[in-house]
Structure 1
Amino acid sequence: MLTKFAVTNYRGFANRIEWELSHPANYEFNKTAIKDGIIKNGILYGPNGSGKTNFSLALFDIENHLSQKWKKVDYYANFIYAGNKNGVVTFEYTFQLGNNEIYYAYAKNASGILVEESLSVDNANVFVRKGNSVQIDKQQFPMDESIERNLGNNANNVSIINFLRTSYPLDAEHYLIKLSKFVDSMLWFRNLDIREFIGLESSSTMLDDFIIRNNLLDDFSEFLQQVSGQEFKFMVHNPTDKQILCKIDNDEVPFQLIASTGTRSLQLLYFWLKRINDASFVFIDEFDAFYHFKLAYEVCRRLFAMDCQIFTSSHNTYLMTNDLLRPDCNFILNNNVIKCLADCTDKELRFGHNIEKIYRAGAFHEE
């Protein structure tokens, strides 16, 4: 699981900003939001322009050079803080994977080229690369000095993690294998003007085609009825059809022509719900942009019942309730700082407290 992430000099974040997930409070309710002492589920709030989307994209930068499933072609168009374009962007990740605590940090220049990289496991250095200098623990990874020098001088932007993982025989429980599997299974997506995703899948999928091909018409219809109360009678004429039809009286209408923006967003969510069991860490950016507030609550309830770490961003404070999560799982991003609600007040917050009302009253100190 991811326990901590920090980024410096990225887009609108001139200074270091950190998200801590390994110190949950001692609440006696909604314990399923915590797993192995780590925050498993949460919602990230913040004013418009505070950087929620940019922060989530920064968190998924690790996909760019460790995974083959990166899918955001315009990512480097606005990568580094405009006031320090000659500097570097620094990323820091801490993972708890089985019995291993893994700390991975690296820096990239404005073009996205790796210029620094380091890895430590259980507080012991595995390798450090800075500029053209590389130091590797040769007890774990014996190699000639010439190979070590070549790693320092490599011009093809290869991560040392990927080099070690593919060049040495490692067992399935090796920390590099576990780290690579975790990163390869991370997923970020959103559905605003355009649909975008990072990770988990290596190619785009037509949603109607996916549902038809996997015989999920009835299941999708039931899903829409359960989460939104909408009733559709779906049909296709042939198993090879590429679009879902809706039966309305004696007529047949393509689903995409009559579905609202919110319902199409639910279709995208449905697709990813069928894939999330394979995910390690999920972030859904502005997941409820087209949802009624009660629908957003129901969607969150389903998401947070899943086993992997799942977080969303939202402006909908209706979700800021102890019926869904807890104060240490609701985070506020404001003025380059992320704090959970539990850390924004000296008062003891209990299950019966209306934390949305407290938040709207301005009683939480977010900075």
Structure 2
Amino acid sequence: MMLTKFAVKNYRGFKQRIEWDLSNPSSYEFNTFAIKDGIIKNGIIYGPNGSGKTNLGLAVFDIVNHLSQKWKKPDYYMNFVYAGKPNSPVEFEYTFKFNDQSIEYRYSKNSIGALTSEALSVDGCMIFSRRDDAFEIDDKQFPMEDATRKNLMVNANRVSIVNFLLTSYPLAEDNCLMALHHFVNSMLWFKHLDTREFIGLETNITLIDTFIIQNNLADDFADFINKVSEQSFQFVTPNINDNALLCTIDGAVVVFNQIASTGTQSLMLLYFWIKRMNEASFVFIDEFDAFYHFKLAFEVCKQLFSLNCQVFTSSHNTYLMTNDLLRPDCNFIVSDNKIKPLSECTDKELRFGHNIEKLFRGDAFQV
């Protein structure tokens, strides 16, 4: 399953509906790894401060809050609704591709994050719909008693109909609801700025030193740091019960986290998540390169985009806006409540040899 389209309205800074379409890549013949099954698999989102890069990433992960038991951001519902319309619902729309099926999942929430409506359709055919105390469902797939139907119509406890169906009916592994369940439970959002935060994939907070030690990854971590940043660290072989990585500097043994730079500690966090991303379906890293040298950011992107799952990042680093890394339809600009790929922001035909960073700095792209 892959996410092909997302839209949200009345969410935080998005007063109007904003749509992010991943289903319409261009026909570029270079960097084809960034496209999978006709869907954009990798991308970088740019935009001025306050344009909505972070909010867009968080909005995509709203679905984790009611369909998954994985880790959630504790303050997620603070300032959840656009300030100018506090009594209007926040509306979410997701479109997924599963095998040859198109799954559309829509729902809305009030200011405290409670579901107020919910609907699911497959290839345009309704599976269920609940809105304004009205409830419809495909009786052939999900037969139910009148009492159950009435309870779901009122839905006083705001339970997700998707979760109810998942737990109340025996479903085949290839059922679209099972596919949706697996996808959402494997989504991952994270950042490392002043504090480390994440949404999804894990159920508990894990100490990264402990993870590396218990999985015997100290040497592998050293190789990773050297490959992406050309830094060399010699780690002391840890004991299984140790809780901190130690390294040697000119014969002296020191705690790694006490001498690692902010950027290197950020790489440590990235290393931890990369080791988990073989389980991931969709990854969004917010300002992943905030502490990286521009060349380091490039190398990290190469690592991320080689993974099998959908991976997107936000960044201010236009050094990454190059056809040596991605392609114009995989570089997105957020501005004025819109998000578009570079390929749709100009009438100019963009080719591999074009310096798109120079074009961007020259205001050649208009959202």
TM-score (norm 1): 0.99
| Residue of structure 2 equivalent to 1:245 | 246
Letter in 2 for 1:231: S
> In the aligned structure 1, how far is the partner of 2:153 from the partner of 2:236?
58
> In the aligned structure 2, how far is the partner of 1:155 from the partner of 1:169?
25
| Residue of structure 2 equivalent to 1:115 | 116
CA deviation vs aligned residue, 1:87-108 (integer Å, no higher than 9, x gap): 1000000000112210000000
Contact 1:133/1:149, CA 8 A, preserved across alignment: no
> In the aligned structure 2, how far is the partner of 1:133 from the partner of 1:345?
45
- Map of 1:143-162 to 2, 5 A cutoff? 143-162=144-163
| Residue of structure 2 equivalent to 1:335 | 336
| Residue of structure 2 equivalent to 1:13 | 14
Q: Does 1:263 align with 2:264?
A: yes
Letter in 2 for 1:194: T
CA deviation vs aligned residue, 1:223-270 (integer Å, no higher than 9, x gap): 101100100011145221000011112211100100000000000000
Letter in 2 for 1:257: Q
Contact 2:13/2:52, CA 8 A, preserved across alignment: yes
Contact 2:213/2:239, CA 8 A, preserved across alignment: no
Q: Does 1:27 align with 2:15?
A: no
- State the SS of the aligned residue for 2:73: coil
| Residue of structure 1 equivalent to 2:166 | 165
- State the SS of the aligned residue for 2:84: helix
Contact 1:115/1:130, CA 8 A, preserved across alignment: yes
> In the aligned structure 1, how far is the partner of 2:236 from the partner of 2:124?
57
> In the aligned structure 1, how far is the partner of 2:239 from the partner of 2:88?
57
- State the SS of the aligned residue for 1:272: helix
Letter in 2 for 1:223: F
- State the SS of the aligned residue for 1:54: helix
Letter in 1 for 2:330: C
> In the aligned structure 2, how far is the partner of 1:306 from the partner of 1:238?
31
- State the SS of the aligned residue for 1:227: helix
Stretches (4+) displaced over 4 A: none
| Residue of structure 1 equivalent to 2:302 | 301
| Residue of structure 2 equivalent to 1:62 | 63
Letter in 2 for 1:152: M
| Residue of structure 2 equivalent to 1:187 | 188
- State the SS of the aligned residue for 1:307: coil
In structure 2, list runs of 5 or more residues that go unmatched.
none
Assess, with a 3 A threshold, how the Cα gap between structure 1 residues 233 and 85 changes in structure 2: closer, same or farther.
same
Contact 2:213/2:238, CA 8 A, preserved across alignment: no
CA deviation vs aligned residue, 1:105-156 (integer Å, no higher than 9, x gap): 0000111110010000011001110022111110110011211110122222
Deviation at residue 365 of structure 1 after TM alignment: 1.3
Assess, with a 3 A threshold, how the Cα gap between structure 1 residues 264 and 137 changes in structure 2: closer, same or farther.
same
Deviation at residue 196 of structure 1 after TM alignment: 0.5
| Residue of structure 2 equivalent to 1:94 | 95
> In the aligned structure 1, how far is the partner of 2:251 from the partner of 2:45?
46
Letter in 2 for 1:276: M
Assess, with a 3 A threshold, how the Cα gap between structure 1 residues 102 and 237 changes in structure 2: closer, same or farther.
closer
- State the SS of the aligned residue for 1:84: coil
- Map of 1:66-85 to 2, 5 A cutoff? 66-85=67-86
Contact 1:33/1:39, CA 8 A, preserved across alignment: yes
TM-score (norm 2): 0.99
> In the aligned structure 2, how far is the partner of 1:300 from the partner of 1:325?
9
> In the aligned structure 2, how far is the partner of 1:365 from the partner of 1:238?
56
| Residue of structure 1 equivalent to 2:202 | 201
CA deviation vs aligned residue, 1:255-294 (integer Å, no higher than 9, x gap): 0100000000000000000000100000000000000000
> In the aligned structure 2, how far is the partner of 1:109 from the partner of 1:250?
59
| Residue of structure 2 equivalent to 1:130 | 131
CA deviation vs aligned residue, 1:38-67 (integer Å, no higher than 9, x gap): 000000000000011011100000000000
> In the aligned structure 2, how far is the partner of 1:83 from the partner of 1:52?
20
Contact 1:24/1:34, CA 8 A, preserved across alignment: yes
> In the aligned structure 1, how far is the partner of 2:268 from the partner of 2:115?
37
Contact 1:43/1:329, CA 8 A, preserved across alignment: yes
Contact 1:236/1:243, CA 8 A, preserved across alignment: no
CA deviation vs aligned residue, 1:169-214 (integer Å, no higher than 9, x gap): 1110011001100111010000000000100111111011110010
In structure 1, list runs of 5 or more residues that go unmatched.
none
Assess, with a 3 A threshold, how the Cα gap between structure 1 residues 237 and 189 changes in structure 2: closer, same or farther.
closer
- State the SS of the aligned residue for 1:87: coil
| Residue of structure 1 equivalent to 2:320 | 319
